[in-house]
C-alpha cells in the first residue's frame, strides 16, 4: 500500500537526520489504534528505505497508542474499550477513524460531540543510537 510506504519514507527521513551517521540500535514506534496501518508493510518498507539510505538499524518495536476520547460538552475523557466493539465496527473505524463518532458517546453526558485525543497518531517513542559502533 502506498500509504505505508509514504509513511515509512517520512519516518526514515527523520531517523536519518537524527542519526547523523550513527547506527540506530533500537527504535520504538507508536501507532494509533485508529490508524489503518499495516505493520508488516510498514516494517518492510522502513527497513528497505533505511537500507537504501545506509542507515543501520538494530531492532524496531511497535507499540499501540490507545484511543482516548474527550467530550466537548462536559470535558470527560475516556478510553473506549476497542475489544468490546464488534469486529465489523472495528473494521469500519480502522478504515475511517471518523466512524468512531457513530459508535461511541460520552459515558457521562451521552454527547456524541467529542474529540479524538489520541489513538490516531504515529510517533517515535524511543530512538537509541549506537555511539560507539565497531
Contact residues: Zn ion, CB under 5 A: 71, 73-74, 76, 106, 108-109, 111
Q: In whole angstroms, how close is the CB of 105 to Zn ion at the nearest point?
A: 8
Q: Give one DSSP letter per residue of the chain, joined into a string.
A: -HHHHHHHHHHHHHHHHHHTTPPEEEEEEEEETTS---HHHHHHHHHHHHHHTT--EEEEEEEEEPPEEEETTT--EE---TTTS-HHHHHHHHH-GGGHHHH---TTT----EEEEESS-EEEEEEEE-SS--
In the complex with Zn ion, the residue whose CB is nearer, 16 or 77, is 77
Q: Smallest gap, in angstroms, from Cβ of residue 76 to Zn ion?
A: 5
With respect to Zn ion, which residue has the nearer C-beta, 107 or 121?
A: 107
Which residue, 60 or 106, has its beta carbon nearer to Zn ion? 106
Amino acid at each position: 500500500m502506498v500509504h505505508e510506504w509514504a509513511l515509512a519514507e517520512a519516518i526514515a527521513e527523520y531517523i536519518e537526520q537524527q542519526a547523523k551517521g550513527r547506527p540506530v540500535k533500537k527504535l520504538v514506534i507508536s501507532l494509533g489504534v485508529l490508524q489503518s496501518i499495516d505493520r508488516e508493510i510498514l516494517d518492510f518498507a522502513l527497513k528497505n528505505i533505511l537500507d537504501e539510505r545506509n542507515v543501520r538499524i538494530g531492532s524496531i518495536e511497535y507499540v499501540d497508542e490507545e484511543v482516548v476520547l474527550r467530550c466537548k460538552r462536559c470535558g470527560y475523557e475516556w478510553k473506549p474499550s476497542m475489544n468490546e466493539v464488534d469486529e465489523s465496527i472495528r473494521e469500519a473505524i480502522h478504515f475511517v477513524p471518523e466512524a468512531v463518532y457513530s459508535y461511541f458517546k460520552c459515558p457521562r453526558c451521552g454527547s456524541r460531540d467529542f474529540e479524538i485525543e489520541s489513538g490516531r497518531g504515529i510517533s517515535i517513542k524511543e530512538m537509541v543510537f549506537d555511539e560507539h559502533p565497531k
